[in-house]
Amino acid sequence: MPELPDISAYIAALEARVLGQVLEHVRLGSVFVLRTVDPPVTAAEGKTVTSVRRIGKRIAIGVQPPHERGPVRGDPGASLQRQGPAIGDPEIIWLVLHLMIAGRLHWKAAGAKLGGRNALLALDFKNGTLVLTEAGSKRRASLHVVQGEDALRAMDPGGVEIFETDLEGFRAALTLENRTLKRALTDPRLISGVGNAYSDEILHAAQLSPVMLTQKLKLEEWQRLWESTRSTMTLWMDRLGDEAKKTFPEKVTAFRPEMAVHGRFGQPCVRCGEKIQRIRYADNETNYCAKCQTGGKVLADRSLSRLLGSDWPRTLEELEALKRE
């Protein structure tokens, strides 16, 4: 699922292309992508894009009729000298896109066809067409059309923004319940914009176990986690943002070769050289370095633990000995 760095890159690319542009048509390739009926999706057509925002892991595109006013106050695109009322104006219609796991955005030539079963939605502008696709057979990506700031805010899961809070606010959010660090970091009701991929990178940078309980952390460990969260997100936001300035981010992925641990099972840790381990569950997996993060302890993988029972290796040495048998 695209996370804060990926969504930020999308937003930067969209701002450069659609701010101040008229949304001419909304085309649905699948009726299932649209999850709301009031206001109707056609209400957004013929209106000007005045804002592109992030709401958690969602992308919100605000459109409204043209007004003879100055640029929207506080909006990063205000320098484009577009016209319109303030962002909180109740007449703004928001098209809110949630990409879920397999949804991706593409910038095509104006009027591009919605070809293939994976093409779910097209937003047509004079200068190009924004297309939403979703790989696979499951249809989880969605479009909500809502009107006004209150309706938009109601879609926010409520997690704190890591660049809008301090260490104490961060700690308070993660200790509302006694959860593992991995689960707490990826809960959108606690922290906004962090998911499976970047939580692995954050925990590796902080040298903390993904299964450590939040209420067990010492003050020094909280400091490391806080700093690693901000530095990891800043690193990737800058890196993906620079790429988005050159070309539209067509290939957003959770697996990048520059990552330290995520998606690198069996490969050497960039810090210590030991092989990266993993815990698999459902559609996701947690990647970690046992030497750097768990004191050499191999964390139990649910499926393999059931298979091996008491023979499950507890240390890196036991794991290597098992592989040699």
Per-residue pLDDT of the chain (325 residues; tens, 9 = 90+): 799 999 999 999 999 999 999 999 999 999 999 999 999 999 999 999 999 999 999 999 999 987 633 344 334 333 333 334 445 566 899 999 999 989 999 999 999 999 888 999 999 999 999 999 999 878 889 999 999 999 999 999 999 999 999 999 999 999 999 999 999 999 999 999 999 999 999 999 999 999 999 999 999 999 999 999 999 999 999 999 999 999 999 888 888 999 999 999 999 999 999 999 998 876 678 999 999 999 999 987 655 444 334 444 455 444 443 344 4
CATH number listed for the domain at residues 4-153 = 3.20.190.10
Q: Distance between CA 224 and CA 52 in Å, rounded?
A: 32
Q: What is the pLDDT of residue 142?
A: 96
Domain span(s) for CATH 1.10.8.50 in the chain: 167-317
pLDDT for the residue numbered 314:
52
Q: What is the structure's pLDDT at 304? A: 43
CATH topology assigned to domain 167-317 = Helicase, Ruva Protein; domain 3 (1.10.8)
Q: What is the pLDDT of residue 78?
A: 33
CATH 3.20.190.10 positions along the chain are 4-153
**Cα-based distances in Å from 167 to 23, 29, 78, 161, 184:** 41, 44, 31, 12, 15
How far is it, in rounded angstroms, from Cα 67 to Cα 51?
14
